[in-house]
Every structure is written in C-alpha cells, then in structure tokens.
Structure 1
C-alpha cells in the first residue's frame, strides 16, 4: 500500500501551560491530527534544543524533560513516553550528511517541552515513534531552511516533520495577569508581514529576517522563530491552520507546508 505524503508543520507551542490550559490552540492541534493520516513517525525541531552543529536523538526511550520552573506541580507529573526509532535517526543523519551538514547522534538527550507539549494534544496516546533534532543556532536562516529541504523526502514515507517554536515570543511583553489583554500593533504587524510573504511564496523575505518589521521586539532572541525556517523547507505550499494570541503578545499560530 502506498504511503500518504504528510505536510510539514510550524507549531507555536507557547507557554508550558498549554499542557493543562489548551485555550484555542489545543483543540486546533487535535483537529489537525484528526485530519491527517496517522504518521509512521514524527520528527521535531524544537526551539529548546539549541546546539552548534545538528544533533539527532538516537535513544530508543528518551525521558520527558520538564525544562521550566515556577509552574503548577501537575505539569511536572506529565510524561510523554513515545518510543524513539534509532534506525530512522540513523537515516536522518545520512540524509543530512548527503546534504552537506555536519550532524551527530545524541543518545542521552531528553525531550524538552517544545517537543512533547504540542503532541499531547495531537497524539495523546504517545504511540508514534518520535525523534528530536536540534536547532543549530550558528547556522544562517537559509541553512536551517535547507535542513528542512534535506528531510522533506521523509514526508513521502508518512513521516510528520514539525518545527516547534512561536510566531512571536517576547516574554517580557506579554500580559500574564490581564484577563482581557489586547494585541499590540508591533506584534500584529510582524506576524501579518510574515504571513503575507509566505502566502505569496516570498520565502526569501522571511529568511531575510533582519528586515522584518519589529523583529527584535517580537524575538529578542531568535530560537523560537528559527524553527519556522526549518518548516518552510519541508514544503512549498503554505496554509494557515490556526491563528490566535495568548496574553496579548504571544502568537499561537500553526502553519502547514505541503
């Protein structure tokens, strides 16, 4: 039976509270999973695994890592015990080497919340093999995009590729306690610019991130934006799956690339 081609995704995973307070994005993630063929495996590049060179998790049973502090105790009890798949991890390393990337196996890395938190809502049974790959922050946006291009062939094997970050991510500017926050103009202008460029397939304008209006206001550091570059590389056709804001300035967008 011919395997179905899955899309690449960019998921704004937001605050760790998403795990217990799904707001609008939790149901959107659930609907998305129901509308896709069940993946044979999932590969996630998370904002929370920064590295020099690319690293690929080769462990068969990685631990669930609660890489945050000061949140309710029930968050620290959550586990996402999806198996790894060392054979697929080795194949990923081969694909990256063929594309000219220096990549290394890592069999000790636990799964950070950028990996497991969105999948709690998409695939709560945790029965799909899951591999994490790191975000090499020493590489340019174009090179991170090309990592997605190198792995895009895996979509044809019913493997789901995900870049997990956030379309906006300035934690100093969000309104933690305001029950009715408003989204500031600098936040919406940035997000709308990115979406407009993607809709017109002007990927180069997004990869030229220094020129995006208000980029540093929305991303004082780039690690939550850079997984979008990876997701862009996985497919050419862009669609918005979900759009919302949390706490005013925290974008919760989900994008699909086919």
Structure 2
C-alpha cells in the first residue's frame, strides 16, 4: 500500500494538553488513514548538519524516550510519556536508500522523540502502538537539497510507511499575540504557500524568501528549521506531485496550524 506523506504543524508544546479544532482534526486524521506499519518523521526540533535518525535504545527496552525539550509550561506537560517502539526493519531501508543517494548518515541510539515528533504522533495515534523513526533536518541546506533528501525515501511510502514532516509554515514566536483574528501578514504568506504547493511550483518555493509576501516575518532567520520539514515531506511525493491542504487555522494570531497531504487521493475526514 502506498501511503501519502504529510506536513503537520506541531504548534506550541501546550497543544498536548489542549482540546481544540486542531487537536480533534489530528485525531480524526489518524483514524482516517490506513494503519501504517511504521512512521518516519522529520522534526524541526532535530536540526543538525549530519543526517541522523533514531535507532534502538537498549537502555529504554527498545522504545524511544519522550523528550521534554521546552521550559515554562504546566507541570502536567512534563509528565506525558509517548513510548513508541523503534522500527529496525525501516531503519535498514532508510540506511540503504541514503547510501543509494550518496548521503552520509548516522544512527543515534539514545535520543528519543522530541516534542515536534511526539506531540503530533500522540494526537494522531494516542495508543502509541506504531513503531517510529525520527529523522533530523538540516535548516542550513537549501530547500532544493531538503526536497532531494525526501526524494530518496519515496519508496518507503510503498512499504506502508507513513512519512511526516513536523514544523510550521508561519512560526515567529516574537510576533505571537492573544488576538482572536489571524494576522493578515500570516494569512497572506500561507495563501502564497498554498498556491505554490497546489501547483507544485518548486522554483518559486525554493526561493520563498524572495518571492513570498512577509517571508521574513513568517520564516525568520532564527526559525527556518520549522519550514524545512515541509520540503522533506514534499520530496517523498515527487513522482506524483499532488498536494492537498487538509487543515488551516492559527493560534496566538499568527502561529500557523496547517496540515498538507502530498501524494495519493485526498483523505476523507469526517466532520468534527
């Protein structure tokens, strides 16, 4: 079975404690997808010049640690565990595909899942019964290079592996507000992104910082890692080049909560 790839916004860590339109959407999304044999997730919160991915942690009995890589949130958030199992068969496939693409990589056994990964996965698959591999991103690479790394993993989707990119199209913590209406600059950037994705305009997307309205506000230099997972996920659907926006909303006026599907037919989601 060939699964689609997804780009999913992980928002604020507080998302793990919330009951909102977005968290309910993520739960419905997990139920609406065919059950994957494993999940491979690129997270904005693992940014490294090396290509890394998780492997078995014998000290944690084969499950991946839950990393609470944030501060200043309610204590209940730090008590949440999401002990997903590792996926050794998929690890081998990823390693083989990276070698085929001449991409050096390294497995990391003691890292676990950061909040960019487990918050999304817990909302989609609360039982935590699907094996997971987390992969690093490199925000210093060009979007074209990030897309090409995603291309290397296209065949995983044919092995019933769900590939996710977790980040955010608009992620500027210095511009968050308590307003109920989305900021116009944020919606204008997301509208531009949506137009490019729907038409798969790679040259335009690769140079979003020059082409998109309000690009520096939406993707500030200190947070470019949050847009990067979109290109990794998108690259895994290069042979199909179909994109569908499944959800769009905002928190704190400008924190984009979007979900994009790449490849396959549009996922049918029951109403909230």
TM-score bracket, shorter-length normalisation: over 0.9
Deviations 1:8-64 (A, max 9, x none): 000011000110114211111111111111000000000000001100111232210
Q: Which moved more, 1:97-106 or 1:37-46?
A: 97-106
Deviations 1:139-194 (A, max 9, x none): 2111110111111111111110000001110011111xx3x422222111111000
Answer whether contact 2:138 2:225 (CA < 8 A) is retained. Answer: no
Question: SS where residue 243 of structure 1 aligns?
Answer: strand
Q: Offset of 1:85 from its aligned partner?
A: 1.4
Tell me what 1:134 maps to.
136
Question: SS where residue 53 of structure 2 aligns?
Answer: strand
- Select 1:29's aligned residue among 20, 26, 31: 26
Q: Within 5 Å, give how 1:225-240 maps onto structure 2.
A: 225-235=227-237, 236-240=241-245
- Select 1:111's aligned residue among 103, 109, 113: 113
> Is 2:79 aligned against 1:77?
yes
Tell me what 1:214 maps to.
214
Answer whether contact 1:168 1:191 (CA < 8 A) is retained. Answer: yes
Unaligned stretches of 5+ in structure 1?
A: none
Tell me what 1:95 maps to.
97
Q: What's the RMSD between the two structures over aligned residues?
A: 1.1
Answer whether contact 1:58 1:90 (CA < 8 A) is retained. Answer: no
Alpha-carbon separation, structure 2, partners of 1:151 and 1:15:
28
- Select 2:148's aligned residue among 142, 146, 149: 146
> Is 2:51 aligned against 1:46?
no
> Is 2:256 aligned against 1:251?
yes
Tell me what 1:204 maps to.
203
Tell me what 1:183 maps to.
182
Answer whether contact 2:15 2:119 (CA < 8 A) is retained. Answer: yes
Unaligned stretches of 5+ in structure 2?
A: 57-61, 264-272
Alpha-carbon separation, structure 2, partners of 1:137 and 1:153:
24
Alpha-carbon separation, structure 2, partners of 1:39 and 1:91:
15
Q: After TM superposition, where is structure 1 displaced by more than 4 Å over at least 4 residues in a row?
A: none
Question: SS where residue 222 of structure 1 aligns?
Answer: helix
Alpha-carbon separation, structure 1, partners of 2:76 and 2:228:
30
Deviations 1:179-220 (A, max 9, x none): x42222211111100000111121221122222221111121
TM-score by length of 1: 0.94
Answer whether contact 1:13 1:164 (CA < 8 A) is retained. Answer: yes
> Is 2:4 aligned against 1:7?
yes
Q: Offset of 1:137 from its aligned partner?
A: 2.5
Alpha-carbon separation, structure 1, partners of 2:11 and 2:255:
7
Q: Offset of 1:87 from its aligned partner?
A: 2.9
Alpha-carbon separation, structure 1, partners of 2:230 and 2:118:
18
TM-score by length of 2: 0.90
